[in-house]
Structure formats: C-alpha cells, structure tokens
C-alpha cells in the first residue's frame, strides 16, 4: 500500500489465504504443537501458520502445556504487573445500526444522551476519587460538533483535579478518522487510539452492520494506517468474538499486525478481547452466530500471548471475575475495574446497577478497591503507571526497549510507586494491607538496583510527592 490517505484497500487481508492455512491445520498435531511451543519460548513471536496449528490443540495435556507457556512468557515480559484503566462513555448517540449493540440507531427504546463538559468533569472527578489515573474515552459513532466535541472532552478530563488525583493519560476508542483529524487527536495528547474491526470476515461484517458509515469495511480496516500517518504510533486492535469463527479472526488479526509492522515498523500496542454479551434491544447479542466457549476463549488468549509476546492484552468487565482471573495468567496485562458503559454512569448507585442500559452487559461488578485487593492477594501487582507515554516510550521506541527486556527495569519501580500512591490516597484498610504485601513481594524479586530505585520512589510518595517515575 502506498502512502496515500485515500487508499483504503487492504490487499494484505486475503480471506482465501487464511482459509487455506486453516484447511491445512484441521487436526491436532501434538508433535507440531510442541515444536511451536518451544519456538514460542524464545519470545520472538509466531507466524500465522503456527497460530493455526495451535488453535487445533484440544487434548488436556496440550492445553496445560499451552497455558504454562503463555503464563511464563507473560511473567518474563510483564512480570506480575496488571495495569488498570477506566472507560468513560461520553455519548451513546450513534449513526450506525450494528445488530449486536445497544447503541444501534434503530434501538428506539434507548434514552440518548451526550455529556456536557460539566458532566464530563463530574464523571472524571468520580473516577479520580476511586483512584484511577488512566481513562479510555468512548463514544457512539455520532456526537454533536464532531471531533471538536471529543477534543473538548479530552481537555476537560485533563483539567480536572481532585485532592491528589489527575488523569495522566487518556486513550481514545472512536470511529475511524481522516489523517487530518488524527493529527488533531494526536495534538490533544491522547495515548493509544483504539478501534475494533469487530470481525475480519467481510461477509459477516456486511450481515451485522446494517446501516451507517460503519458499514464501509475498507474505511474501517484502513483506519490504523491513517492513524499512523497522523502521528499516532500506539494503536489498539480488537475483535468482537462471537460474530465469526474465532480461528479465522485470530489469523486475520495476525495479518493486520503483520501489515502494520511491515509498513510502519511497529504493530499494535494493545489487543482487546471482548466476547459478545447481551445488549439491550439486540437479539443477536443473546444468540451469537459463533459463540465462543470458555475453553476456546482461554485458548485464543493464550495463543495470542505467544504470537505477539510484547503486545499489551486487555480484558474488560464484560467477563466474569473468574474468567478475568484466569486470563491474567494466560497473557492479559491490562484490565478495567468498576466500569460503567452508559454516559454518566459513574453517578449511578454503588450496587453496580445502571440508570440506563449500557452498551453491553457487565460481568464483573466489583469496585476498583475490591479488584485491587483481590489480585494483590492472588500474587499480582496493580499498576497505575503512565510513564512511558509521557517520556516518549511509544511505538518503535517502546518495542526497542521491550523486546530486549529492558523496559522491565522501568516498569516495576514505576508500578510500585503508582500503586503506593493508590494505597495511601484511596485504599480501604483491607486493601492497604494486601497491597503493602504485594509491594514487598515485588521488590524482593528485583535486582539490587531495582530494589534501591523502588524504595527511593516509595520514599518520595510517602513524603507527599505524587507522580514520581523513572
């Protein structure tokens, strides 16, 4: 593909090629699978033929070996750190009619609303008082004032302060934009730009996207090319699992990542793994055409960890606490907590209920404090770090540090210092106790230099300083 913003073709997505690779890998081949697992342990990634072969692993012993390998790679690269964020829905207005979504234009029963800047500030303050530092701004694909409205929301979120709290990084999950609009979004100081293709199967895509601009498959699939041309080098991909065959989807994901690496020198910063969940006014969401079982879901997460070992993997509150916990061991490195999926939802009751139906059903209704305490007890280290974004460690620069393992020298101390901030400013007594144990456990596993740096950062936090990082 040439550097032409008007070119939305995607010759790299060859459906026949993907189906041919799947046809060659229809049966479980234990010898081949074990060879691929050995290759994966070198932490250099896998090709799509490797991914296709791993997708056929069905026996329990191969499951165990796959899961053990994924867990080891995740810990070798990311340690036991888990990064937290919160989504903020600013609008449920939408021009599209996506048959799986509550925000679909034809859903006449949904109360439509977009947040005023005063409401955006109020929602931000609520999130800050919970302890969040990283926000994902989300909107249905129609909002008043176009991109200028979103940029105003970003400015408002960054401007809010509450006690010791400020939002340090905003990521954006928005409709595809032009190169010029991506330049504006970059200038607004977003971190990662996120956009889900939903499905890479063109036929299925056409069947489920009935009306609206989102019906244009090519405009959507080329959005990351325009984002990169607009200066955004951290992008987040995702598939809505359940629309098409998950095996086809992960091979197509690999092709997309490969295309970005070939063209721009860096693939995706994150991959999200949403499964279809019931949505108000959507019959399809209650009966997905290709429902993904829990076993297959865990398998595909583990496979993608091996395939793209240095990519962040995100699990939202769509999933239950049990599934979220399981996937933390299989490769997930970022999670949301205490989420609401309707505009203004953080003003709702504390019991997890929503004033209006959200975009989809939530499976994990625990508060941020509860999730932080639980995963601390389970051996993980919660992190609220945003240092890489602000130090320019993005895109190729991030991968240059991540692939040799150098990024760990910064990530662990920064995770510890941000977690100490959370504990001192927001944690319940029970979470404070669990968190301090998690911090000491993490420090004990660091090198002498890492231990020294971590304790220096902790001392600064205890003395009253905030937002200290290396």
pLDDT in tens, 189-242: 999 999 999 999 999 999 999 999 999 999 999 999 999 999 999 999 999 999
Q: Is the pLDDT of residue 146 over 60?
A: yes
How confident is the model at residue 409, as a pLDDT? 62
- Is the C-alpha dihedral spanning 102, 104, 105, 106 positive or negative? negative
Q: What is the DSSP letter of 334?
A: E
Question: What six digits make up the tokens of 230?
Answer: 């607009």
Do residues 163 and 425 make contact, with C-beta atoms less than 8 angstroms apart? yes
Provide the sign of the torsion angle of the four alpha carbons 179, 180, 182, 187, taken in this order. positive
Domain borders along the chain are 75-365+379-387
Closest CA to 155 of 192, 184, 182: 184
Predicted confidence (pLDDT) at residue 403 exceeds the cutoff of 70: no
* Residues 331-373 pLDDT 10s: 999 999 999 999 999 996 555 555 556 898 899 999 999 999 9
For residue 425, name the pLDDT band (cuts at 50, 70, 90): very high
Give the mean pLDDT of 389-402. Answer: 58
DSSP string, 362-407: -S----HHHHHHHHHHTT-EEE---HHHHTT--HHHHHHHHTTTTT
* pLDDT for the residue 469: 85
pLDDT confidence of residue 7:
72
Cα angle 419, 123, 426; round to 5: 25
Asked if residue 313 lies in contact with residue 286, where contact means CB atoms within 8 angstroms, the answer is no
pLDDT at 400: 57
Residue 63, pLDDT > 80, answer: yes
Mean pLDDT of 115-120: 98
What number is the average pLDDT over the span 47-65? Answer: 97
d(CA 464, CA 384): 17
What's the pLDDT score for residue 396?
A: 59
pLDDT at 289 over 70: yes
Rounded mean pLDDT, 1-8: 61
Is the distance from CB of 443 to CB of 451 less than 8 angstroms?
yes
Share of the chain above pLDDT 70, in %: 92
Q: How many helices (H) and strands (E) does the chain have?
A: 19, 11
Section 439-458 average pLDDT: 94
Single out the residue of 326, 441, 464 nearest to residue 382, CA to CA. Answer: 441
| pLDDT value, residue 144 | 86
Is residue 97 within a helix (H) or strand (E), and if so which, with residue range?
Answer: none
CA dist list (Å): 85 to 123, 143, 245, 409 = 14, 23, 29, 22
In the prediction, which pLDDT does 8 show? 79
| Mean pLDDT score across all residues of the chain | 92
What φ, ψ does residue 89 adopt, rounded to 5°?
A: -85, 120
Would the pLDDT of 404 be above 60? Answer: no
- Contact assessment for residue 100 and residue 208, using Cβ atoms and an 8 Å cutoff: yes
- Residue range 105-129: average pLDDT? 96
Q: Are strands 161-162 and 165-166 parallel, antiparallel or unpaired?
A: antiparallel
* Cα diameter, the chain: 61
Percent of the chain with pLDDT over 90: 86
Q: Is the pLDDT of residue 401 over 90?
A: no
d(CA 257, CA 237) in angstroms, rounded, equals 9
For residue 1, name the pLDDT band (cuts at 50, 70, 90).
very low
| Gyration radius of the chain over CA positions | 21
- Token pair recorded at residue 216: 């244009």
CATH architecture observed for domain 75-365+379-387: Alpha-Beta Barrel (3.20)
Please give the residue that has the higher pLDDT: either 386 or 404: 386
Task: Determine the average pLDDT of the residues in 117-124.
Answer: 98
């Amino acid at each position: 593909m040439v550097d032409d913003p008007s070119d939305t073709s995607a010759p790299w997505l060859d459906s026949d090629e993907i189906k041919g690779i799947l046809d060659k890998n229809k049966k479980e081949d234990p010898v081949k699978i074990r060879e691929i697992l050995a290759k994966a342990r070198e932490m250099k990634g896998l090709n799509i033929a490797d991914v296709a072969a791993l997708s056929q692993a069905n026996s329990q012993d191969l499951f165990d070996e796959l899961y053990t390998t994924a867990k080891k790679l995740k810990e070798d690269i990311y340690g036991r750190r888990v990064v937290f964020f919160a989504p903020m829905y600013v609008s449920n207005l939408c021009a599209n009619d996506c048959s799986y979504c509550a925000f679909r234009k034809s859903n006449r029963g949904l109360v439509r609303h977009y947040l005023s800047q005063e409401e955006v500030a109020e929602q931000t303050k609520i999130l800050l008082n919970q302890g969040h530092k990283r926000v994902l701004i989300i909107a249905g694909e129609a909002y008043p004032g176009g991109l200028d409205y979103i940029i105003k929301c970003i400015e408002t979120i960054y401007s809010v302060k509450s006690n010791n709290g400020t939002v340090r990084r905003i990521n954006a999950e928005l409709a595809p934009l032009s190169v010029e609009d991506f330049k504006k979004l970059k200038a607004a100081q977003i971190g990662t730009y996120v956009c889900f293709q939903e499905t890479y199967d063109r036929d299925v895509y056409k069947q489920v996207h009935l009306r609206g601009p989102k019906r244009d498959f090519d405009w959507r699939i080329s959005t990351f090319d325009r984002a990169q041309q607009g200066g955004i080098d951290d992008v987040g991909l995702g598939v809505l699992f359940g629309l098409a065959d998950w095996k086809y989807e992960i091979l197509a994901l690999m092709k997309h990542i490969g295309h970005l690496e070939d063209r721009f020198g860096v693939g995706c910063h994150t991959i999200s793994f949403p499964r279809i969940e019931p949505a108000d006014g959507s019959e399809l969401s209650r009966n997905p055409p290709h429902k993904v079982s829990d076993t297959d879901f865990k398998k595909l997460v583990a496979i993608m960890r091996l395939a793209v070992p240095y990519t962040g993997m995100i699990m939202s509150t769509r999933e239950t606490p049990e599934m979220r916990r399981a996937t933390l061991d299989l490769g997930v490195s970022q999670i949301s907590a205490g989420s609401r999926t309707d505009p203004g939802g953080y003003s709702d009751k504390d019991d997890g209920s929503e004033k209006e139906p959200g975009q989809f059903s939530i499976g994990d209704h625990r508060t941020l404090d509860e999730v932080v305490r639980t995963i601390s007890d389970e051996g993980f280290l919660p992190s609220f770090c945003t240092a890489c974004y602000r130090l320019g460690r993005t895109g190729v620069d991030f991968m240059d540090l991540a692939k040799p393992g150098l990024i760990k020298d910064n990530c662990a101390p920064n995770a510890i210092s941000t977690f100490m901030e959370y504990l001192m400013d927001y944690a319940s007594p029970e979470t404070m106790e669990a968190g301090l144990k998690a911090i000491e456990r993490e420090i004990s596993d660091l090198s002498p230099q890492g231990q020294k740096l971590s304790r220096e950062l902790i001392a600064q936090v205890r003395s009253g300083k905030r937002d200290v990082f290396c």
